[in-house]
Amino acid sequence: MFSGLLLALSFPRFGNPGVAWIALAPLIVAVTGQARAGASLPRLFRLGAAAGVFYFCGTLYWLANVMAIHGHLHIAVAGLLAFGLALYLSVFVGLFAVVLGVATRRRGAAAVWLAPLFWVATEWLRAWLGADFPWVLLGSSQTGVLPIVQFASLTGVYGISALVVLVSSAAAALALGTDRRTVIRAAVTAITLVTIATWGAWRLGRSPLTSSGTPVRVGLLQGNVPQEAKSDPAYRDAITDRYVSLSRDAIGAGAELVIWPEASTPFYFDIESNLAAPVRRLAAESRVPFVIGTDEFERGRNGSPDRYYNTAVLVGATGQTMANYRKIRLVPFGEYVPFKKLLFFVGPLIEAVSDFSAGTTPTIFDAGGRKFSVAICYEAVYAGMARAFVESGSQLLTTITNDAWFGRSSAAFQHFDQAALRAVEQGRYLVRAANTGFSGAVDPYGRVLAKSALFETTSLTVDVRLLTDRTLYSRIGDAVAYAGLIVSALVLIRRRRG
């Protein structure tokens, strides 16, 4: 449980990234000691899961408030659902404890040095299988520690997670015994950490990507529209007028591309042409392309149901729609409700949540030769999605989001940091337009170039660059996680055979 509390305190808004480096040490010590004493695998699983419950309750507490306010659930039911998700996610921490315990039975206390690989294996499973929820991966706690976060350009977020856990492993190993081999390994860990931080500081000092590529000035709009107003027809014209006015401010400041947040139009942009006309007219008059976040409606054919998509639309400098991107990664309980039949008791939530369909193609927008991608909201936490966009030719990462759901909770802070990490991983500038904040820009080294305040109405104009060079991580992907999966599988297979 102590490890769970430390893990939760590793993330913003209330935590500190320094805590992450020792967060798993208590759990590693406990699992190793119990495994050497002959504890059963269920016992080890419960140790890990208990830490996981505290970890995810502490970082995802805001979900209860979101479901209560916007899903119209009783706060007790919303809290129960949020706790249920924390329980589910804790399974992966329990699995980490089991694999570590199995390895300890074979290798003794030396197994603690394999903990980084076991941890990233379970993080990868959480992100891509079963839970499909890569929120607050341990490596993302270090986004603001710039010398360390440069390591993401080589290994991605999983490499940083492994590095962080390695320090916990060293602390745990020293707590379990200080024989000569352990001291040497701990010293090597310290040297590795210092080497990576030194290299990261050197990389930051050089920053070659900030002087290469093609410069472009981007306008980022933050309309600060209350969530309840977005669906109220009485506010429709005022919302549109606000965004058109902010767009004029951005264009007046020299913006060559203007980006509106997710679902910013209170109408279907490509269907209700009379309501979209002011935006198209402004784009044509100014000869500036726009990215518009909107919902998209598609009539069903041959008896099939109608479909709704969360969409980004590229309006060209002629005022015409040039392309659109349909969100691929949908938010559970936000854009669809999984297991509806099992969750019959949350009827108000099911009724409140729009039943969106998922897109299938990671579209690259081309605005006069400027090639860029748009991740919509939750998609920004997926390292693999940003990599897929860059592989397809994206020279600039953009993300549009509506974080009004989060209020002033930790979620808005966590979301911005996780998006910022994508810039370092891919060696791209990243710009972000959010309805209520945080909007801003991050350079390819993770430095925040501009950032709005929460709940302010503003237009940010930022200078970024279109880049084509690719990082090592962009080329090799999640090799660290795959190594962890292989080693974990081998440990479990050997136990089964033994």
Active site positions, annotated: 262, 327, 377
d(CA 111, CA 176): 12
DSSP 332: B
DSSP string, 351-402: HHS--PPP------EEETTEEEEEEEGGGGG-HHHHHHHHHTT-SSEEEEE-
Residue 464: CA atoms inside 13 Å, Cβ hemisphere, count?
35
DSSP string, 105-147: HHHGGGGGGGHHHHHHHHHHHHHHSTT---TT-GGGGGTT-HH
The first and second tokens of residue 447, run together, are 């430095």
DSSP string, 242-267: HHHHHHHHHHHTT-SEEE--TT-SSS
CA 232 to chain centre: 30
The first and second tokens of residue 476, run together, are 């090799």
Torsion angle defined by CA atoms of residues 177, 183, 186 and 191, in that order, rounded to the nearest 10 degrees: 170
d(CA 31, CA 33): 5
Q: Find tokens 């967060």 and name the residue.
A: 23
Q: Report strand pairing: 214-222 vs 321-326.
A: unpaired
User: Which H/E stretch holds residue 278?
Assistant: helix 273-286
The first and second tokens of residue 183, run together, are 């001291």
Closest Cα partner for 25 from 198, 189, 191?
A: 189
The answer to whether the beta carbons of residues 478 and 435 sit under 8 Å apart is no
**CA 233 → CA 38, 226, 241, 264, distances in Å?**
65, 13, 14, 14
The first and second tokens of residue 107, run together, are 């290798």
Instruction: Could you list the beta-strand ranges (E) of 160-306.
Output: 214-222, 257-259, 290-298
The first and second tokens of residue 249, run together, are 């401010």
Angle between helices 152-176 and 410-426 (to 10 degrees): 120
User: Which H/E stretch holds residue 312?
Assistant: strand 307-315
Helix, strand or coil, per DSSP, at residue 414: helix
